[in-house]
Structure 1
């Protein structure tokens, strides 16, 4: 009866989670990496600069079968992620115990790193499937080398090779684990196993060929360029981050399983403990020398997946209150991660989070931008070329507009994420105005894709390549938390006479974002605009003008230190503005403070808004 109850819990939980993922995936805006994988799928190839080809192929299959919507992009990944918990159950039931199998399956469903797979079209879903297939094959080989086990190993190795460079870690640890077990060494002497390994190795050939043909650009990015390969202290954060992402008690239980079964007499348990433990340990050590700028919390997932079948044995030795606490915290962790995706999928929540550290910039603003671009293109000649400032904008607009050939400027982000070589191969990188061949262009520049202190230099770089950047429209998504500048460029070569006019740059020094005001206060800040200068600065509240600022006071520190002397504003150091505001004239509560900047070239730009709290009148 107990087994039937646990199976029922698993089936109900699995069904609920799959439906939840479908609902979120249909609404969650496309993450920038997903958009680029979609773009890769529109340019079919065996391998790309950032990944092997399988992720892009799956997205292309989804869109070919189900249309061009968000859910179509993600459906193959939801299906793959839905299969993984069943495979965990099957492996555990066959090797250990049916009751433990349903426990491990429930943990696989709720483990935040694993349970949320498929909501986004990322390679981790296929990596998880490839990992569990290889683990299943490994424990089968320890019992008896058969054609079926060898075939399963070949399939897992091939899928992993076609998914991501990181699968190399799974292969290496798996071989080490087999070598540490007597029957594993016996299995490695069987030619069928080596045929399977050779088949898996052959799946790496497209990626190797791509790297040979492109000066090892992909390998250098994944293995060299993105990692400092120098000792740093950030590696200790691995323990905190993994404890949070796995949930603390499950984290402890899985580590305990790895330690307890590392020398078990049961070969299957020992293989899983060694595989999982060595993978997690390896990524922990790697954290002291590897990339810390980009997300890496999901890297150890194959290790946790290997340890899940052993979870039931650990829980048997725990008191009931501790088991209940573990399941409760696991549910809370799953709800937290999936809840985040659910909230991000709601436009009102994204807007409310503007100005906060957790603002989901990589999910936000793309539909608003696409609508503005459509409007601008409709008013321009038919032969207008759409140009994006970087790969993020190009890929997201490509998906929203169904346009996989958007030209993209060279940008630090393209190189930082390993996408520059691929854009060059597709012929999409635009080096300068001459590449337009006399055609008009609509240039979309991102104002949030470099550090604020480097934004003026970015504008100047684009200006040097493309000519003056007239501001035809400013897109402030979510109160300007995502900000884009749209510039209409006419046909012909860039004009070199006179200074290059860039979009404005501004900052409100006081009040700071989120400040509470209850008495007349002075608003102070600064604004610059290369080439033309600033004509006026108006203060807005919730988008409506409320005051005209006094502009032209000196602020040499900003010009000399923050802008590092790069400003070419005719006003020189006289770029500060101020205005006195009385909060008593406005309704109490949360409001959005902003600027309307008018340039001497006639341009009008709405600057990003920031929240303030107006206290009730006393």
Structure 2
């Protein structure tokens, strides 16, 4: 393929992806971490509990350029992320010529994660930029030692240090690459190179100073607390996940490029030994690392710097492939990229999120934030102007701050504040709220992200919340996407000084549908069975809903000692939590996927709609005139 043709295709695809990212950035609800970085941007600092300061500074820049919305937040990251393929082109052109450069840039664009990088306001964007800028500087310096190359290396190292703690692993990979290349080892004998490295290392000083002042909280979270540091078999999923994210042909090519780099490590071209060492640490190294590190949070993007670097040595390998194989690679990668864009477009649309709610592809971190912000805005309009707004966790507080543009939102202690390394930062800002003792007789709106806790932990969370507040009214429930994202709002009257609250708390209700199973078949006459409880008052009656329509009513009248034992309920709470009824016919409801849910009416007068679950509805044709009654 002619160089000019590949250049035109690269530029055309780059423009299409830039436009797509701009459109998605304006419609996709903010990721939880993005909202917190926007919050950090309101508190300028060199270092925060979770990250060095660069991500927050970029978020601040976005706010200055375009206001406080999510699109403005993401704009600097989109622009910086769009430079990554151009850096791949620049690096490859120096090593293998112009045609190879455009081919490598096309591979970086077609790589699904690479092509869409920058869409979200995340620290990976400046970190990847710094990594490729370092690689470009090293490639320049291995050919000729110049002040410009030294300055670029120092700047890139500083950017990376201010972007993420994980950049230390990028530095390790670069050191391995330099050690493998004779030209790299020669560079390390140059005093000016060490001077550039020293300048770049200075960017770590604020990070170390912050950790010394906070008992190593940031380093502890990133390298100790979040990792089990014990072998775990879940690391075996890593190659499969990478295959799905890169597409099989592209991963095969980049794997071949790494092997080729090792085979040619003794050749005159310094790119090969450099990439042999760098790629071995940045890709297989992360695979081994994955057996001992965080398996609960998202880590699939960690080796992206290594994959992008391998794109730079992939064109000579790709040139040996048959034309049909090359076309297959580009087609498969383009399909993977299109599927990722389509998935993000689904997440950006309310109808798309509602459709995804029935399966495992639902992304709750992109869902529900606009809806809860709108509900809270209406609640506050009906309450006194000095109402205290309290969120039960950092992520919800950050989302409300971003949507409502108010910085006085307080945060209750919550397990995920610690889990995500934000508890220390909230304490530094003075945003942690201990409950009624901090409210000084003011009205309070407490907002709880119910689905932030696993079901097994919710009752303990409700009890803790009741102790902190001194008593809970019946919650206002907001179920988003059939309850896949669920929020509770409690409007609290001013608490009297010294009032520690009642001895007994009326807690929110809990329920579970045991039959039919999620996604199972449901027809008229089939049993609908489960349990429901509401400690402190009890459940008076249950309405069974199909697609939001009441189709049956039942009382929890069956003894369920197993439920009482599981939830450690006192004898005073009773043990009649179970219910069962025969599913009635629903005239006019066609066959297909439907949502089966419950509405729980407590003896305290409150009503709470429980999350619905998808079922395969198969009507029998029987007709009934009204809602059925339970057995």
Task: Please classify the TM superposition score into its range, dividing by the shorter chain length.
Answer: over 0.9
How far the C-alpha of 1:478 sits from its partner, in A, is 1.1
CA distance in 1, matches of 2:467, 2:286: 43
- Aligned residue runs from structure 1 range 512-551, under 5 A: 512-551=517-556
Match of 1:25 in 2: 25
Q: How does 1:75-224 map to 2 (within 5 A)?
A: 75-224=75-224
Q: 2:481 aligned with 1:478, yes or no?
A: yes
In structure 2, distance between residues paired with 1:175 and 1:516 = 58
The 2-side partners of 1:613 and 1:176 are apart by: 55
Q: In 2, distance between residues paired with 1:460 and 1:130? A: 47
- The Cα shift of 1:490 comes to 1.5
Q: Deviations over 1:570-608 (max 9, x none)?
A: 442111122322235341233322222111111111111
1:504-527 Cα shifts (integer Å, max 9, x gaps): 111111122222223312211111
- Alignment pair present for 1:267 and 2:273: no
TM-superposition CA deviations, 1:199-237 (whole Å, max 9, x none): 111111121111111111010000100001111222222
Distance in 2 between the 1:408 and 1:519 partners?
Answer: 46
**Greater CA drift, 608-617 or 431-440:** 608-617
Instruction: Find the residue that maps to 2:231 and give its secondary structure.
Output: coil
Conservation of the 8 A alpha-carbon contact between 2:69 and 2:403: no
The alignment partner of 1:479 has SS state of coil
Q: Secondary structure at the match of 2:273?
A: helix
| 1:405 Cα deviation after fit | 2.6
Measure how far apart 1:432 and its partner are.
Answer: 2.6
CA distance in structure 2 between the partners assigned to 1:609 and 1:484 by the alignment: 14
- 2:526 and 2:243 map into 1 onto residues whose CA distance is 45
Q: 1:147-199: CA deviations, max 9, x gaps?
A: 11101101110110110011001111212221222222221122221121111
Please give the secondary structure, in 1, of the residue aligned with 2:239.
helix
Distance in 2 of aligned mates of 1:514 and 1:418: 36
Give how far 1:308 is off. 0.8
Structure-2 residue corresponding to 1:504? 509
Identify the residue that residue 362 of structure 2 maps to in structure 1: 359
CA distance in structure 1 between the partners assigned to 2:213 and 2:79 by the alignment: 34
Q: CA deviation at 1:293?
A: 0.8
8 A contact 2:29–2:348 mirrored in 1 = yes
What secondary structure sits across from 2:366 in the alignment?
coil
Q: What is the aligned-residue RMSD (CA, Å)?
A: 1.5
CA distance in 1, matches of 2:69, 2:140: 41
Write out per-residue CA displacement over residues 258-300 of structure 1, whole angstroms, 9 at most, x where no aligned residue: 1212214111232133212321122111111111111101001
Q: Identify the residue that residue 601 of structure 1 maps to in structure 2.
A: 604
1:398 CA displacement: 0.9
In the aligned structure 1, how far is the partner of 2:55 from the partner of 2:596?
43
Following superposition, the deviation at residue 614 of structure 1 comes to: 2.3
Residue 22 of structure 2 aligns to a residue in which SS?
helix
Quick one: distance in 1 between partners of 2:124 and 2:502? 52
The equivalent of 1:291 in structure 2 is 294
8 Å CA contact 1:142, 1:268 repeated in 2: no
Distance 1:364 1:130, change over 3 A: same
How is 1:372-451 mapped onto 2 (pairs within 5 angstroms)?
A: 372-451=375-454
The offset of 1:319, in angstroms, is 1.4
Match of 1:350 in 2: 353
- CA-CA distance at 1:33 after TM superposition: 0.8
- Structure 1 pair 206/164, CA: closer, same or farther in 2 (3 Å)? same
Q: How many pairs were matched up? A: 615
Segment of structure 1 superposing worse, 328-337 or 262-271: 262-271
**8 Å contact from structure 1 (residues 439, 490) kept in 2:** yes
SS at match of 1:608: strand
Residue 241 (str. 1) matches residue 241 (str. 2)? yes
Q: How far does the alpha carbon of each residue in 1:38-92 deviate from its partner, in whole angstroms, 9 at most, with x for none?
A: 1111111111011111111101110111112221111101101111111111111
The aligned residue for residue 16 of structure 2 is 16
In 2: Cα distance, 1:584 partner to 1:607 partner: 20
Q: 2:491 aligns with which of 488, 496, 499?
A: 488
- Residue of structure 2 equivalent to 1:576: 578
Which position in structure 2 is the counterpart of 1:311? Answer: 314
**Take 1:133 and 1:229, find their aligned partners in 2: how far apart are those partners?**
31
CA distance in 2, matches of 1:228, 1:530: 36
1:128 Cα shift? 1.3
**Residue in 2 that maps onto 1:34:** 34
Distance (whole Å) between structure 2 residues aligned to residue 332 and residue 546 of structure 1 = 44
Question: Is 2:345 the counterpart of 1:328?
Answer: no
Partner of 2:228: 228
Greater alpha carbon shift after TM alignment, 4-13 vs 251-260? 251-260
CA distance, structure 1, for counterparts of residue 115 and residue 459 of structure 2: 42
| d(CA) in 1 for partners of 2:411, 2:486 | 18
Instruction: Give secondary structure in 2 for the equivalent of 1:107.
Output: helix
Tell me by how many angstroms 1:309 deviates: 1.1
Q: Please identify, of 276-285 and 358-367, the stretch whose mean Cα deviation from structure 2 is larger.
A: 276-285
Instruction: Please identify, of 570-579 and 188-197, the stretch whose mean Cα deviation from structure 2 is larger.
Output: 570-579
Give the conservation status (yes or no) of the 8 Å contact 1:508–1:523: yes
CA distance in 2, matches of 1:480, 1:87: 44
TM-score (structure 1 length as normaliser) = 0.97
Distance 1:449 1:84 in 2: 34
CA distance in structure 1 between the partners assigned to 2:277 and 2:108 by the alignment = 19
- Match runs of 1:64-75 below 5 Å: 64-75=64-75
CA distance in 1, matches of 2:346, 2:440: 45
CA distance in 1, matches of 2:395, 2:118: 21
- Distance in 2 between the 1:497 and 1:65 partners? 50
Q: Please name the residue that 2:627 is paired with.
A: none
1:560 alignment counterpart: 565
**Are residues 518 and 537 of structure 1, via their aligned partners in 2, closer, same or farther at CA, if it must alter by over 3 Å?**
closer
